[in-house]
Amino acid sequence: MFPSDGSQDFSRNYSGSMGTLTYIRNFLKDRQVASITPTSRFTIERVCRHIDFSRDLRIIEFGPADGVFTKVILEKLTPASQIIAIETNSDFARLLRQHRDERLTVVNRSAEDVREIASNKNWDRADYVISGIPFSFLNKDVKHRILQDVSKLLGDDGLFLGYQTSSHLRSHLRKYFPEVETEMEYMNIPPMCVYRAGKQTG
């Protein structure tokens, strides 16, 4: 799956497509895309380290774009697991729908609607929420509403796993999760702050 020579090709995503061109095109049309390069495989693996893929899981992904992260998660998930990918950009949502996998549901809406979207799938709980949306672009009320909804959806052992270019989300997450940890991934353009937030301490 990774280049065997250990080289870093940040412009190529897991599917082998030229993800950067798609990102640049959508970035120019839609400010919420917030990035001109897909997340690096180093960041993806750093986030995935926190996920117990041995269990059947329900995962919600915010801001999948063309699925650079989603495809890796699908490779690791059990056959009975499910993932809901919520993406505001319709071009990205269309691209992601081309990845046919019955475990994947793509919803072209905002993370602000996460509770209704989960409820439409008859989910009252999720195991993980993975988020790449640019929280710093959201106003305070929207940011808090999303984090509150995520905290309600996650069970006691559920985790919010986020990746952002800044560590600004830490203080906001602490309002809803007693345990919040951050780590930096420098093998990413730009370097990425990875968040892990949960309800259980220790």
List interacting residues with ligand SAM (CB under 6 A): 32-35, 38-39, 62-65, 68-69, 86-89, 92, 110-112, 132-134
Q: Which residue is nearest to ligand SAM (CB)?
A: 63
Are the beta carbons of 160 and 173 closer than 8 angstroms?
yes
- Tell me the closest approach of the beta carbon of residue 89 to ligand SAM, in angstroms: 4
Whole-angstrom distance, CA of residue 27 vs CA of residue 7: 26
In contact, 57 and 77? CB cutoff 8 Å: yes
**Distances from the Cα of 110 to the Cα of 9, 131, 163, angstroms:** 30, 12, 17
Length of the chain (residues): 202
Q: How far is the CB of 156 from ligand SAM (least distance, A)?
A: 25
- Which lies closer to ligand SAM via its Cβ, residue 87 or residue 127? 87
Closer of 157 and 168 to ligand SAM (Cβ): 168
Q: Decide whether 32 or 157 has the Cβ nearer to ligand SAM.
A: 32
Q: Which residues pair with 109 in a beta bridge?
A: none
- Shortest gap between Cβ of 134 and ligand SAM (angstroms)? 6
